[in-house]
């Protein structure tokens, strides 16, 4: 089930919108909750959310981060009017009609002593997908004048990630999309509510199972295997076809929110816009 905290529900899904399972959910701080999810190198993912208990008469800003690198956020107007709607964010906008998809990748490591040193924030949130939600008000809406260019992450020294794994959450291939957002704005956060962070720590399934985070798949007992074979032997005419992607720092990436009608989602191109750094 999704991570639920302070009136907001958030989850990570695959490219088809199927929620990834969550393990070891825990409240880290009053305003931060985290869990583990499985990752698969080369697969795309999306951040999905809804606001069952929205803050009345307030807009909402969503700022994502991949592996500790902050991205430019998006905003939603007056979520209290649409408490049951599901939203999603699956990419970073690189132009008026192009985006790069969120992807699970592989980090480049090196043994060179001159390798780049990640910041303390990057180390703390290495191998994470973070979504920060802030209630406030949208201001100074204007057309987008330019799109930020993503900075490729430099190789890390292998010693820095010896306790973790070499996976990464990054921007993948570029795709073309119609009706992308063309407005940006300033966002003033509310003093009545602190921002809420949802942290998803990801790792390959084998890594999670080896550390007891994800349960091992149960093996069928010999008796159940024999029973299954006997049942199939009597059904000779049946054919089984089951096998037949600090707020003071300059945001790195703008990202659009997309949605799917099957889940009653709201379209990004009608209500969403990119948000600049908060006051």
pLDDT of 122: 76
Domain count, the chain: 1
* Residue of 198, 195, 8, 31 whose CA lies nearest to 87: 8
Structure tokens at 21: 């399972």
Pairing assessment for the beta strands 273-275 and 183-189 based on DSSP bridges:
parallel
pLDDT, tens digit only, all 279 positions of the chain: 789 999 999 999 999 999 999 999 999 999 999 999 999 999 999 999 999 989 988 999 999 999 988 887 899 988 767 778 999 999 988 888 989 999 999 987 777 777 777 777 778 888 999 999 999 999 988 888 888 866 777 677 777 666 678 899 999 999 999 888 888 898 999 999 999 999 999 999 999 999 999 998 766 555 544 444 444 443 433 333 333 333 444 444 333 444 444 444 444 433 456 665 444
Are 88 and 172 spatial neighbours (Cβ–Cβ below 8 Å)? no
- Show the domain range for 257: 3-275
The span from the CA of 279 to the CA of 228, in Å, is 64
The token pair that represents 216 in the structure block: 């091992």
pLDDT at 204 (0 to 100): 95
The token pair at 36 is 């583990």
| Cβ proximity of 136 and 56 under 8 Å | no
**How many whole angstroms separate alpha carbon 196 and alpha carbon 179?**
30
pLDDT at 278: 47
Single pTM value for the model: 0.77
3-state secondary structure 19-35: ECCCEEEEEEECCEEEE
Find, among 252, 255, 256, 251, the residue nearest to 270 by Cα: 256
pLDDT at res. 60? 95
Q: Which two tokens stand for residue 191?
A: 């003093």
- Between the alpha carbon of residue 12 and those of residues 22, 45, 48, 139, 171, the distances in Å are 9, 7, 6, 29, 16
- CA gap 34, 201 in Å, rounded: 7
The pLDDT of residue 272 is 53
Please tell me the predicted confidence (pLDDT) of residue 148: 80
Q: Please name which of 40, 78, 41 lies closest in space to residue 60, comparing C-alpha atoms.
A: 78
């Amino acid at each position: 089930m999704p991570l639920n905290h302070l009136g907001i529900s958030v989850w990570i899904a695959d490219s088809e919108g199927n929620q990834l399972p969550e393990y070891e959910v825990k409240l880290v701080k009053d305003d931060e909750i985290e869990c583990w999810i499985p990752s698969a190198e080369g697969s795309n993912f999306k951040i999905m959310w809804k606001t069952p208990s929205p803050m009345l008469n307030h807009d909402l800003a969503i700022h994502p981060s991949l592996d500790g690198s902050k991205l430019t956020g998006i905003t939603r107007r007056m979520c209290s009017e649409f408490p049951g709607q599901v939203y999603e964010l699956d990419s970073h906008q690189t132009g008026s009609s192009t985006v790069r998809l969120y992807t699970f990748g592989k980090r480049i490591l090196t043994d060179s002593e001159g390798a780049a040193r990640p910041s303390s924030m990057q180390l703390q949130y290495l191998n994470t997908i973070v979504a920060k939600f802030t209630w406030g008000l949208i201001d100074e809406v204007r057309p987008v004048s330019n799109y930020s260019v993503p900075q490729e992450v430099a190789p890390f020294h292998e010693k820095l990630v010896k306790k973790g794994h070499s996976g990464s959450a990054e921007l993948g291939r570029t795709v073309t999309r119609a009706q992308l957002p063309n407005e940006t704005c300033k966002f003033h956060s509310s003093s009545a509510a602190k921002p809420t962070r949802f942290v998803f720590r990801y790792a390959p399934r084998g890594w999670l199972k080896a550390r007891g985070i994800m349960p091992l798949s149960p093996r069928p007992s010999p008796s159940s295997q024999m029973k299954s074979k006997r049942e199939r032997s009597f059904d000779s005419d049946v054919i089984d076809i089951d096998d037949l992607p600090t707020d003071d720092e300059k945001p790195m990436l703008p990202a659009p929110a997309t949605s799917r009608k099957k889940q009653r989602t709201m379209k990004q191109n009608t209500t969403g816009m990119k948000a600049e750094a908060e006051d």
